[in-house]
Amino acid sequence: MSEGTHSATPKGRTTAWMKILGGTAVVVAGAAVMFQVFQAEQAAAPTGDEAGKVKLTSSPELGRVNGKTISYDTVARECFDRIGSEVLDNIINRMIIQQEMEKRKLLISETELNQEVTKIAERFNLPVETWYQMLQSERDLTPLQYRRDVIWPMIALRKLAGEEIHIAESDMQQAFQRDYGPRVRVRMLMLDNVRRANEVWEKANRTPDEFDRLARENSIEPNSRSLGGSIPPISRYSGNPDNRAVENAAFRLKEGEISGLIQVGGKYVILKCEGHTKQVITDIQDVHEQLYDQLVETKTQERIAEVFEGLKRQTRVDNYLSNTTTGGRKVSQAGNYTKQIQQTGTTLPANAQNKVRQTGGVQASPR
């Protein structure tokens, strides 16, 4: 994100269902084969033969090499060996959602599916058909797969979450400062030994003009170390609460000043201030609607993750492939699963920017 401007990608949304939904990381193979055909009039994506799968009375031929047959069973066994565990995990997750939808007698209509796809496509100023084409070329997702594997579970989890989202004025102000407020340009040194950190801090104070050299020689943070300690400008409320001490220290510095040792977990950080950026947008009303929609989306996804965690805990799952039984306790993959859904439904596919230009679309900030 450029200094003083709003990022085109919402904070915290950086890529089976979830992996193909936000961020640019894409894992399609497991998700593409794990779901059966969706029937919009039912409460959930159907499974098994009821989903319209072809019923096989024998193993048909799928190919031949010099007359030697490659059967359906041969292909199925190899697919199972490669991605069977991932596919089973995702079917289990889908069934947990499906059963809860049926229990609450909640339905998803064809109209709701169409509206959701249209809304997402409009975020990027693209026609729906162009959006479908991009998903297929970039993520190998057909329109049917996208609707049943991504859009349906996304809407289902929102319905199960149920609660109306309330955005406080304090949330709005923090988001405004995070995205549009002034920032501090700094260089950073990170060390994991307090004695060594004090030695480097003393050198930095004696020779502040050599801070970049000290960073290259001493910092344990590989990305910034190679750049002489250079990191993106720091904004307010931009990171994990554990890093709030770094933000506070940065905003207290004047240009050219060196911070004291800032403890972050078991690490020690030293900052050198290189100046402050100028705030470009000063009136929150100019971006109020955009910020509000962004916060609603973020809080909705947080609520969805909580709901799915709860469903996982209360559902007994016997996985004979992994020889595990869960239920009544936290399952660590629930958060990753919902994150994949969130990301795939709202993120422009990787390497798609040029295609947006070619089709006449203009990439818009997802809300």
How far apart CA 101 and CA 9 sit, in angstroms, is 31
The CA-based angle 75-79-82, given to 5 degrees, is 140
Give the mean pLDDT of the chain: 78
pLDDT of residue 141: 87
Beta strands in the chain (DSSP E): 61-65, 68-71, 184-191, 262-264, 267-276, 317-319, 324-326
Residue 361 backbone phi and psi in degrees, to 5 = -85, 160
Structural domains of the chain sorted by starting position, each given as residue range(s) with its CATH number in brackets? 11-54+87-167+284-367 (no CATH), 182-276 (3.10.50.40)
Sign of the CA dihedral with 52 first, then 53, 58, and 63 last = positive
pLDDT of residue 343: 58
Count of Cβ atoms closer than 10 Å to residue 107 Cβ:
15
Please say whether the beta carbons of 35 and 148 come within 8 A: yes
Q: How confident is the model over 185-190, as a mean pLDDT?
A: 96
How far apart CA 124 and CA 79 sit, in angstroms, is 35
Q: How confident is the model over 99-113, as a mean pLDDT?
A: 93
358 has pLDDT over 70: no
Of 318, 291, 316, 307, give the one whose Cα is nearest residue 342.
Answer: 307
56 has pLDDT over 80: no
pLDDT of residue 57: 54
The CA-based angle 99-105-111, given to 5 degrees, is 100
Count of Cβ atoms closer than 10 Å to residue 328 Cβ:
9
178 has pLDDT over 70: yes
How far apart CA 131 and CA 124 sit, in angstroms, is 9
Of 310, 307, 308, 302, give the one whose Cα is nearest residue 329.
Answer: 310
273 has pLDDT over 90: yes
pLDDT of residue 225: 93
Of 207, 188, 211, give the one whose Cα is nearest residue 262.
Answer: 188
The model's confidence at residue 360, banded by pLDDT at 50, 70 and 90, is very low
pLDDT of residue 274: 95
217 has pLDDT over 90: yes
Least trusted range by pLDDT, from 14-23, 113-122, 312-321, 324-333: 14-23
Q: How confident is the model over 167-179, as a mean pLDDT?
A: 93
Query: Token digits for 214?
Result: 């000290």
The model's confidence at residue 164, banded by pLDDT at 50, 70 and 90, is confident
pLDDT of residue 31: 31
**Region of residue 267 (phi > 0: left; psi between -120 and 50: alpha; otherwise: beta):** beta
pTM above 0.95, yes or no: no
Secondary element (H or E) of residue 131:
helix 128-139
Helix 288-314, helix 72-103: angle, nearest 10: 100
How far apart CA 248 and CA 120 sit, in angstroms, is 37
169 has pLDDT over 70: yes
338 has pLDDT over 70: no
